[in-house]
């Protein structure tokens, strides 16, 4: 990862570059910000820049021995800590390094769900186990292979086991010589206050719509109008912008299902609504949950649209066109009840209640709620 590959964040990039050029690199830094703002990519580009033996004024050279190792994420002085799910003999982060490298090299903009899918543990509870701290202590006790800094990148430190967090605290209090710690967090309030107090915090803002749209046009070939629509919908989250491209077909399918239900409910076509319910029941459970989440978002967006606060809306062009006519039916008299029913349906799906019954029951309730 190079600084040039990062979407937006020019101010933060320059700040990090200046620290290296002036030789004033804090030994522990905490990259904080919402999902999809580029915290991990920034930390990776920063670590590469520090390690590079022939860096330029703006970026790493890409060809020195250090950069060659960085190209495959195999630099011996760079160590990673990240949440994992214990599976068989896989108990520490090193057991998952191949998957970690594959995910980052494929696309460094990802979230915890993408990581869990990569290691095929979508339903697991990922944490950074206590044993990981012993591994890091062991690694940092060794001399630097390249004669420079040893760097530890901790992704989602809020997921650390208490024992692991306390041992990391000791390392931050008395850091080994020439050692740097980069912590990347989305919920820093969940990190031990004593760890927070020993790190220099860098707040990473949301990415501007213009920066997201520019990358979508240049790198992914998205049209100008569509790129800005996606950028607005992403609300500063580049991961969400990428999902809008790659999951476009699924989103269109959800949109068609949502529109179909609302029209059938308004027209009270019970037979067709039953068929609609059977169509939803034939989906996988995760898809059913995703549809219900999508429906909740559509209800919220239409309620806001009905209040004439369009600047606060985050919808695609197709969704906006539908909202022009549908939004009056989502108002202060029914929005809370609709959201409640959607939440109840989601709970029942998670509890493996018969999906046909769940969706048919919800569709019947929409007949009454839309008339309010």
Q: Where are the beta strands (DSSP E) in the chain?
A: 28-32, 78-81, 150-155, 179-185, 200-203
Over residues 113-133, the pLDDT tens digits come to 889 888 887 666 789 998 998
User: CA-CA distance, 228 to 135, in Å (whole number)?
Assistant: 45
Q: Quickly count: other Cβ atoms within 10 Å of residue 296's Cβ.
A: 16
Dihedral over Cα of 329, 332, 334, 336: its sign: positive
Neighbour count for residue 97 (Cβ, 10 Å): 14
Query: Which tens digit of pLDDT belongs to each residue from 89-98?
Result: 888 999 999 9
Which pLDDT score, from 0 to 100, does residue 123 have? 61
Contacts of 372 (CB under 8 A, 6+ apart): 331, 333, 334, 337
Q: pLDDT at position 126, please?
A: 87
- The predicted model scores a pTM of 0.70
Output the pLDDT for position 122: 60
Q: What pLDDT, on a 0 to 100 scale, did the predictor assign at position 40?
A: 97
pLDDT of 246 reads 66
Average pLDDT of span 38-62: 95
Q: Which two tokens stand for residue 366?
A: 């929409």
pLDDT-derived band at 367, boundaries 50, 70, 90: very high
State phi, psi for 132 to the nearest 5 degrees.
-65, -35
**Of the ranges 171-175, 202-206, 231-235, 326-330, which is most confident?**
202-206
pLDDT > 70? residue 247: no
DSSP output for 20-52: HHTT---SEEEEE-STTS-HHHHHHHHHHHHH-
Dihedral angle of Cα 23, 25, 26, 31, to the nearest 10 degrees: 160
Mean pLDDT of the chain: 90
What share of the chain in percent tops pLDDT 70?
96
Query: Mapping DSSP to helix (H, G, I), strand (E, B) and coil, where does residue 206 land?
Result: coil
What tokens appear for 253 in the block?
A: 């399918």
Q: How confident is the model at residue 248 (pLDDT cuts 50, 70, 90)?
A: low
Cα 143–145–147 angle (5° rounding)?
80
For 237-247, what is the mean pLDDT? 82
List, for residues 281-326, the tens digit of each pLDDT value.
998 888 899 899 999 999 998 998 888 766 666 677 678 888 888 9
The span from the CA of 349 to the CA of 353, in Å, is 6
Q: How far is residue 218's CA from residue 216's CA, in Å, rounded to a whole number? A: 6
150: left (phi over 0), alpha (psi -120 to 50) or beta: beta
Q: What is the DSSP letter of 205?
A: P
């Amino acid at each position: 990862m190079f600084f040039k590959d990062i979407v937006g964040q020019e101010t933060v990039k320059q700040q990090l570059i200046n620290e290296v050029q002036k030789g004033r690199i804090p030994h522990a830094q905490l990259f904080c910000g919402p999902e999809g703002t580029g915290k991990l990519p920034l930390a990776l580009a920063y670590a590469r820049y520090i390690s590079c033996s022939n860096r330029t004024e703006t970026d790493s050279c890409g060809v020195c021995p250090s950069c060659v190792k960085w190209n495959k994420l195999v630099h011996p002085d760079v160590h990673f800590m990240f949440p994992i799910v214990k599976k068989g003999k896989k108990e520490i982060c090193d057991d998952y390094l191949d998957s970690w490298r594959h995910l980052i090299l494929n696309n460094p903009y990802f979230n915890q769900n993408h990581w869990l899918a990569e290691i095929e543990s979508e339903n697991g509870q990922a944490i950074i186990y206590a044993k990981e701290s012993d591994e890091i202590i062991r690694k940092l006790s060794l001399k630097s292979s390249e004669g420079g800094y040893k760097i530890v990148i901790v992704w989602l430190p809020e997921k650390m086991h208490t024992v692991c967090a306390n041992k990391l605290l000791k390392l931050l209090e008395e850091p080994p010589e020439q050692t740097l710690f980069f912590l990347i967090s989305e919920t820093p309030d969940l990190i031990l206050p004593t760890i927070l107090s020993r790190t220099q915090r860098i707040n990473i803002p949301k990415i501007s719509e213009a920066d997201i749209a520019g990358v979508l046009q240049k790198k992914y070939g998205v049209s100008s109008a569509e790129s800005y629509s996606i950028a607005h919908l992403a609300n500063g989250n580049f991961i969400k912008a990428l999902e809008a491209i790659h999951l476009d077909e699924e989103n269109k399918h959800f949109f068609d299902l949502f529109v179909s239900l609302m029209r059938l409910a308004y027209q009270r076509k019970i037979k067709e609504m039953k068929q609609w319910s059977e169509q939803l029941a034939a989906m996988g459970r995760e898809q059913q949950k995703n549809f219900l989440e999508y429906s909740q978002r559509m209800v919220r967006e239409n309620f806001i649209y009905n209040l004439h606060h369009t600047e606060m809306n985050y919808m695609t062009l197709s969704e906006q066109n539908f909202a022009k006519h549908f939004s009056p039916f989502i108002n202060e008299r029914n929005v809370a009840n609709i959201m409640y029913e959607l939440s109840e349906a989601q709970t029942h799906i998670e509890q493996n209640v018969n999906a046909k019954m769940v969706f048919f029951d919800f569709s019947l309730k929409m007949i009454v709620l839309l008339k309010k």
